[in-house]
Chains A and B, each alone.
Chain A
Amino acid sequence: MDTPLIEALARQAGLERALAEFPDCVMAAAKQAIGRSSEINTPTSPAVEPWPPMKVGGGA
């Protein structure tokens, strides 16, 4: 874990107070998030759109 990087990301997210009062929680949260997308087989086809798809209303 890159502690300075996590601290910088936490500050950028506005978590200064959590970082000061609960640094272990901030580190644990970051550990859960960072690298998680590596467990996902990201679709290779550009035709695969995110869910839910964009939908507009029925118009006037």
Chain B
Amino acid sequence: MERKEAIISVKNLVKKYDDFTAVNGITFDVYENEIFGLLGPNGAGKTTTLEIIETLREKTSGEITVNGFSVDSDANKIKRIIGVQLQAAGYYPNLNLVELLELFSGLYDVKISPMEMLGKVNLQDKAKAKFKALSGGQKQRFSIATTLINSPKIIFLDEPTTGLDPQARRNLWDLITEIRDAGTTVVLTTHYMDEAEQLCDRVAFVERGEIIVIDTPDALIDNLVNSGFERKKEVKKANLEDVFIHMTGKEWRADN
């Protein structure tokens, strides 16, 4: 993969809460038009890092630029070129999906066709439904639709597939890949390694507020194999999830 220009640059990011250090000197770049994954266990500092880049949280120290804008001085310019999906965020009560998208188009001050946006995430037939009435996978897809309203350069997805069934996860992977292919940079967090391996162009492992390693999934695996590592059990040509998907089908389902 050829080296591209960094669209996000994070240098020595530190975030402290009283006596707890959530992020302890993280440095990384995200290149234009890649899917970048922040991987790590819960509480490793993934969400905090993301929210600081999204200008939703103050950092303690460090330097961050997004598309050349500094989070310190140009927060509003950054907000206009990014799309954000929060972990477990709710939406305005009593409104249906079309009305919610109209609201967001006003908040971003851009003109959009709500049905077209819903089409991008395959939710046209839920146009009149309330967010609360959606299934887990539909909720995530709708959240992603709201991140695309302002035709952002970068979208941030915080654990987009947590809690979803295998079909819904795969559908979401396809959707995220399409978004990347359409020219948008994607930054996501996950703690599923299979997801990172399939989806991400590059990953960073975050542990206790620090980055342990950054590389492409392939390179990381090759390095480990070259170091002499071998799985204890011989790898079969398929795993249980493959069996499940094979037997239950991969098509879009009404409830995912």
A binds B: no
